[in-house]
Amino acid sequence: MEKTLKELADHVGGKVVGNENLLIKGVMTIDDAIEGYITFISNKRYVNKLEATNASAVIVSPSIQSSQKPLLVIDNPYLAFAKIVDFMMYKKPVYSGTIDPTAEIGKNVQLGDGVTIYKNVTIRDNAVIKDNVVLSPGVYIGEDSVIGSFAVLHPNAVVYNGTIIGERVIIHSNAVIGSSGFGYAPDEGKYYNIPQVGIVIIEDDVVIEPCTTISRAALGETRVRRGAKVGSNVVIAHNCDVGENTLIVSQSGLAGSATVGRNVIIGGQVGIAGHLTIGDNCQIGGCSGVANSLPANGKYLGTPAIPINKMRKCYAVINHLPEMRQTVKDLKKRIEELEEKLNDK
């Protein structure tokens, strides 16, 4: 369904510079866009692509005021892009709102209004499934767990017993929430499995991507707070606490009892050691290994992670270490020669 540029601007709260009545078919990236589509520039690096793109219109920030192309000007072009994709292109899934007869529903399970339960779902005793929850095929909900309203669990996701999942949470396929984590007490060369009697709490509006595992607490709780987004194949160990609106990119791992503040961004493949505290608003570059707690509002990088500006300088030197080593050897020789000369005198 085509929309005019004006309709799109109104939808996102921006203003049009140029032909308001231009018909837009959809959104494409700046490189791929063809005639009839709108694209966006959310990063100053790409401003030079503004005139070259084949898109018929471009969403830009107020720093760009004119172009040969019609513009949709708005403070946050990336957010506007997201909202326009949602508005024009996203085919919202339709759920049946029914319960498949093959689903196994345990004793004393509470089912809210409008829940959709597909084939081969298992819900164990005493679980609470709130209104409009969607449980896809193969999903497992353990005993005593609570799934908040409008939560969507994708195929084969597993929620162990006693887990609490908030409203509008999205759990992607094969993610595992609430399994017993790494708790083993050494016992004369063997290990005693420490029963993990705590739980996991996932607050409202969290997204958990596929194959991510979040372990239950040994005692107490593991908690992922409101609005946090957790990438694929991430591991969050027992007793961690992840702050509100924090992003954890794919394949990162938090060891036991790590505490991460709010609005933190953790890049991909980052490792955070146990019992550390990461302050609010920190940003940790990809592939970093965090060995010490990090103060709030900083940007960090490396293994062990240090302030990013410092680490970048270190990386620059590391690449020249062989030359530096040679320089030091040369200097040593020259000093020896100088020493000899002076002694000769």
Report the catalytic residues: 238
Is residue 34 within the footprint of a copy of itself (CB under 8 A)?
Answer: no
Residues 234-253 contacting a copy of itself, CB under 8 A: 235, 237, 245, 247, 249-251, 253
* CB 316 within 8 Å of CB 295: no
Q: Is residue 123 within 8 Å of residue 139, measured between CB atoms?
A: no
| Nearer of residues 167 and 209 to a copy of itself, judged by Cβ | 209
Q: Which is nearer to a copy of itself, 131 or 336 (CB)?
A: 336
Among 211, 276, 296, 308, binds a copy of itself (CB under 8 A): 211
The count of C-alpha atoms lying within 13 angstroms of the C-alpha of 208, restricted to the half-sphere facing its C-beta, is: 34
Under the binding rule (CB under 8 A), the answer on residue 297 touching a copy of itself is: no
Q: Which helix (H) or strand (E) holds 17?
A: strand 15-17
User: Which residues inside 151-190 make contact with a copy of itself, applying CB under 8 A?
Assistant: 154-156, 158, 160, 170, 172-174, 176, 179-187, 189-190
Say how far residue 296 (Cα) sits from the centre of its chain.
19
Q: Is 287 in the site for a copy of itself (CB under 8 A)?
A: yes
Other Cβ atoms within 10 Å of 7 Cβ, number: 16
Rounded Cα gap, residues 309 and 277, in angstroms: 21
* Amino acid making up residue 112: G
Q: Does position 327 bind a copy of itself by CB under 8 A?
A: yes
328, two tokens: 């030091």
Q: Of the candidates 13, 97, 295, 304, which one interacts with a copy of itself according to CB under 8 A?
A: 304
Nearer to a copy of itself (CB atom), residue 20 or residue 276: 276
Residues in the chain: 345
By CB under 8 A, tell whether 90 contacts a copy of itself: yes
Out of 23, 34, 47, 318, name the contact with a copy of itself by CB under 8 A: 318
Pairing between β-strand 15-17 and β-strand 71-73 as defined by DSSP bridges: antiparallel
